[in-house]
Structure 1
Amino acid sequence: MTVGIKLLAAFAAGALAISLGGAASAKSRRVRPEPTPSAETVPAPAALSRQFFAAKGVQPLTPEIEQSLKPKDSFKECENCPEMVVVPKGSFIMGTPITEVDRYKGEDPLHRVSFARPFAVGRFTVSFDEWDACLADGGCDGNKGDDREFGRGRLPAQGISFEAAHSYLAWLSHKVGRTYRLPSESEREYFARAGTTTPFWFGKTVSSLDVNYAAGTPYANGPRGVDSKGPAVVDSYAPNPFGLYQVHGNVWEWTEDCFNKRYTEDTPTDGAPWLEGDCNKHMLRGGIWNWSADKSRAGYRDDAFHGGGYSFRVVRTLNVQP
């Protein structure tokens, strides 16, 4: 209790800006042997999580608090900043096995990706409330996105191009004095799976109680439901074991990676984004409310031209010990 009080007091007092850099990708020109999908090494998240929220204005994490962060701790560095959750370091097998129902070409070969340090991920997809806070503060290039007449508020920000997402990240990073960014494609799959190897973090099949999707098309002998009529607010449904909401379905989310048709020996294995290939397109993850569940699987990959309008979730690199 005494340690928690000291940390909260340090947080309230403010913090010095920290210069953060992305990890460089170590590439191998050799063809990697295909691993089995059973070898997951994700440490169990901390049993008791802590929250470090800005009381008002902007309050970046102090170096002491940042270095003390544990998996499932959360923080907000300004009143209207996204809530961030600490994801554990570890490794996982990226891609889908040939036995997975409705697996597509491009989701192979299976390969191990390792994360040497924990990192922080937005608990939710960026909402229109958060996007509109950027607009009100003179950021986001005045781009209002496109709510498609579904509404704004806690609904996910939609109609956001790759460049527009970066304008939000630039505003947020400048406001807080810390580096916020898009996830890499491997980070996105890692935190969607949250230590699991099934198509969805909750199992091998899905229903409309789990995910917002076109439930009229059943998946893997699962139940047939009613097609969704539109996006759901960002805190709908249950969070996954990492504490993240709606990593499957609802809206497509941008990643930083350029388009590549399938994984190769050049695919980064350290969690860095793949910045080679067709960079007129970038990879999307997560699925969407009006498509079938097979497109919402953890390993499903899609792509879009960078001018397309989608949604996104933010990531923050942490200055913590490996």
Structure 2
Amino acid sequence: MQREKAHQAARLLKYGLRENDWISIAGGSFLMGSPSGEKNRFENERQHEVEVKQFEILKTPVTFAMFDIYCKAIQSSFPGDETWGRGNRPVINVSYWSALEYCQWLGEKIDAPIRLPTEAEWEYACRAGTDTPFWTGQSISPDQANFDGNYTYGGSEKGLSRGQTTPVDQFPANPWGLHDMHGNVWEWCASIYDETYSGLELQDAGFDYEDHRERVVRGGSWHNVPSGLRSASRNKLRPDYHYLRVGFRIVREVTTNGV
């Protein structure tokens, strides 16, 4: 067992990851969406109870350092960094398809099922047991996340508007150990966008290049006002779209025989 763990750790390191980069999320049920009285909420945030199974999620968005290893390995062009820097900043300018292809490649390399989180898993992980607009409470400040600090929410004060991404571990982690669930970059989810929450939020759309329906992105970005960073806030993009405000985070599935 110890030898296998050491072997797995070595494999992860080769691809820019460590074992403690993964956070184990216990399954459970929660109220997804926002209550009717939440400030700046939208109708597409209908509050409803959902249940998710146990999974493991990367504690930060995928970084340029991680993604560049993949690009070099498959001899692909590198996504642009807008001159902000690479390394420990979140990878940007990647489409949903590119994110899935990275997941498939990494899963094969480390011999573990890797995918994007469903929309329900993403919000569950973001909330980390909280029921407020942000895991930080009723408000959020530019000292807690990367967003447009010229705007406020819930009595917060104005602050820095950085105008670009920041390193993925610059801000405090939420109670479950996850960084940048609010702000920095929007994150692709595996789910097809469903305006009324009729069940697609629990499903992984997977690979189907013929399915052009919009996929969910979550979390808000460095460019957004704080209301766009709320745990319940939703957005959507075509799967072939890539943008300087969008990155992704990955899930490692938990199996009955281990991970």
TM-score (norm 1): 0.72
For 1:172, which of 81, 84, 106 is the aligned residue?
106
- The structure with more helix, counted as a fraction of residues: 2
Counterpart amino acid of 1:284? V
Partner SS for 1:164: helix
Q: Which residue of 2 aligns with 1:30?
A: none
Aligned ranges for residues 39-50 of structure 1 at < 5 Å? none
**1:28-48: CA deviation from partner (whole Å, max 9, x where unpaired):** xxxxxxxxxxxxxxxxxxxxx
Instruction: Give the corresponding residue for 1:247.
Output: 181
Q: CA deviation at 1:280?
A: 2.5
- Identity, % of aligned positions: 29
Distance (whole Å) between structure 1 residues aligned to residue 205 and residue 114 of structure 2: 18
State yes or no: 1:89 paired with 2:66.
no
Q: Which residue of 2 aligns with 1:126?
A: 62
- Structure 2 unaligned regions, length at least 5: none
Check 1:175–1:9 CA distance in 2 against 1; reply closer, same or farther (3 A cut): closer
8 Å contact from structure 1 (residues 163, 307) kept in 2: yes
SS at match of 1:284: strand
- The CA RMSD measured in Å over matched residues stands at 2.1
Cα distance in 2 for residues equivalent to 1:123 and 1:320: 22
The one of 42, 56, 81 aligned to 1:147: 81
Q: Which residue of 1 aligns with 2:115?
A: 181
Question: What does the per-residue CA deviation read over 1:162-221, in whole Å, with 9 as the maximum and x for residues that have no partner?
Answer: 111111111101111211000000000000000000111110001111110001111122
Contact 1:126–1:156 (Cα < 8 Å) also in 2: yes
2:40 to 95, 102, 106: 102
Runs of 4+ in 1 over 4 A off after TM superposition: 76-79
1:161-310 to 2 correspondences below 5 Å = 161-264=95-198, 266-267=199-200, 271-273=202-204, 279-309=212-242, 310=246
In structure 2, do the counterparts of structure 1 residues 112 and 274 end up closer, same or farther at CA, with 3 Å as the change threshold?
farther
- The verdict on how the C-alpha distance between 1:283 and 1:196 changes in structure 2, with shifts beyond 3 A counting, is same
Separation of aligned partners in 2, 1:127 and 1:255: 16
Give the number of the structure whose alpha-carbon radius of gyration is greater. 1
Contact kept, 8 Å, 1:186 with 1:273, in 2: the verdict is no
One-letter amino acid of the counterpart of residue 45, structure 2: E
2:52 alignment partner, one of 115, 122, 137: 115
